[in-house]
Structure 1
């Protein structure tokens, strides 16, 4: 009986915890990709670094980034009534310490790439 109570208590505690939104650390910046019903902006890699898999060969929508000039490889997943389309994009950014950047994307007029922008 004690083990059931312990398991239920731990489960209740675990489920009751809320995750806090990520914030930029004082010496880094934070990129947060748009995740709406129309587009999901995923961070692929920063400069010539490793691909930023978030688990199970999926790209994530957030990444910490060092201060300074960077070229960030982006993948945008656009959702249409007929399905989804992935388009590559690039974000050139000068990161300031402690800033959080909201990264958004839209399809180019020819539909061949994602036009990416970032706002604080």
Structure 2
């Protein structure tokens, strides 16, 4: 079954919501080099609360984008890793992140120009 992103009832929109969420994008980028623990992800991403990171990780796990592996240790150790499905998103997400980094100055400048014109 192929989805239709323009159909308001199509689940494709739910997937677009997930991969369009900044925290999901940053988790995907953080896991690109391999499994990470929760605190490693939190520290790499920066600015995300533990609650929001937990919600994001659970949603991504539910969507099949990552796995959560609990090691039988004291204290328990938990690692997150991308699934093959999550890995298939790696290249498109990296391309978008690269575009954002390369064009941030142009976007900020455009915003400033727009805001100045609107407030004038």
Which structure ranks higher in relative contact order (CA pairs < 8 Å, sequence separation ≥ 6)?
1
TM-score (norm 1): 0.23
TM-score (norm 2): 0.23
Point out the structure with the larger strand share: 1
